[in-house]
Amino acid sequence: MSFVDIEHKGRTVVATINRPEALNALNADICSQLVDPLVALDNHPEVGCILLTGNERAFAAGADIKELACHTYESALDTDLLVCWQRFAEIRTPKIAAVSGYALGGGCELAMMCDIIYAAENAKFGQPEIKLGLIPGMGGTQRLTRLVGRTKAMDMVLTGRMINATDAERFGLVAQVYKNEELLPASLANADKIANFGKIAARAAVETINAADNSHMAAGLLFEQRSYHALWATADAREGMQAFLEKRDANFSGKPKAEKPALSVTPSATLAT
């Protein structure tokens, strides 16, 4: 099944996520259908900018929770699910996200993997993973913090609340807000402008601006991955994802999956001093 449309408009490649029935929830097919062609075009001399968008209701409402719910700690480690999205982040051609509607969880993180985010007035950004017993796991704890600062990132990640386009622009997440109907034409015009500058300079600009962030980022991302994978072992994450799928409120216990008896230490077992 095809979930991504790829179109060439002059020197800009427009990639549209097209899974409206699930609010563009990001599954493995979307990842490969989006990332493989864009990676192949990265070095094409006639491609100067990539514009990523969704539909009016959703840029992407996160990773597909049905897919996520099937993973275990072991399968997540084994498949290293993030590799595909990392390849997107590493594309060197300037990338613009044009966001209408929901950009939540992995959707917000995908937008943040782009070099510029433009938003429609109806856009809503958020990292709601806490409601599933999880944390952002596609770079959100690191990229959001760098974009909006620790205070706002903590508030968004710990409450899971959504912010509107005006606040997203005020916080520094979004470069510009446009009227809903102007988002695509305006984003395309900006993409076209970038695409028509020299590709080498544009890439160097992206690379150099990103270098400002990267000194401690790798350690942060690895730590985030390990924490994220570990959460798959908790009862709360199971409950959070299950509750979403059953359309009910989650009942978090905050306890480990299997309670183990406390260690009993007898005096003879203590270390001699």
CB of 82 to ligand DAK, least distance (A): 5
Q: Of residues 106, 126, 133, 140, which has the active-site annotation? A: 106
- Candidates 15, 61, 183, 206: give the one binding ligand DAK (CB under 6 A): 61
| By CB under 6 A, residue 52 contacts ligand DAK | no
Q: Please give the full DSSP string across the chain, using - where no structure is assigned.
A: ---EEEEEETTEEEEEE--GGGTT-B-HHHHHHHHHHHHHHTT-TT--EEEEE--SSEEE-SB-HHHHTT--HHHHHHHTTHHHHHHHHT--S-EEEEE-SEEETHHHHHHHHSSEEEEETT-EEE-GGGGGT----SSHHHHHHHHH-HHHHHHHHHH--EEEHHHHHHHTS-SEEE-GGGHHHHHHHHHHHHHTS-HHHHHHHHHHHHHTTTTTHHHHHHHHHHHHHHHTTSHHHHHHHHHHHTTS------S-SSPPPPPP--GGGSPP-
Residue whose CB is less far from ligand DAK, 161 or 203: 161
Q: Of residues 58, 60, 61, 63, which has the active-site annotation? A: 63
CB of 151 to ligand DAK, least distance (A): 22
Does the annotation count 63 as an active-site position?
Answer: yes
| By CB under 6 A, residue 139 contacts ligand DAK | no
- Rg of the Cα trace of the chain? 20
- Candidates 3, 128, 144, 174: give the one binding ligand DAK (CB under 6 A): 128
- Candidates 106, 148, 173, 183: give the one binding ligand DAK (CB under 6 A): 106
Give the span between the Cα atoms of 243 and 131, in whole angstroms.
Answer: 10
CB of 248 to ligand DAK, least distance (A): 13
Give the span between the Cα atoms of 138 and 81, in whole angstroms.
Answer: 10
Does the annotation count 106 as an active-site position?
Answer: yes
| By CB under 6 A, residue 25 contacts ligand DAK | yes
Contact map string, positions 172 to 191, toward ligand DAK, x by CB under 6 A: --------------------
CB of 173 to ligand DAK, least distance (A): 16
Interface with ligand DAK in residues 227-246 (CB under 6 A): 228
| By CB under 6 A, residue 82 contacts ligand DAK | yes
CB of 150 to ligand DAK, least distance (A): 20
| By CB under 6 A, residue 125 contacts ligand DAK | no
Catalytic residues, by residue number, are 63, 106, 109, 129
Which residues sit at the interface with ligand DAK, rule CB under 6 A?
A: 22-23, 25, 61-66, 68, 76, 81-82, 102, 104-106, 128-129, 132, 137-138, 225, 228
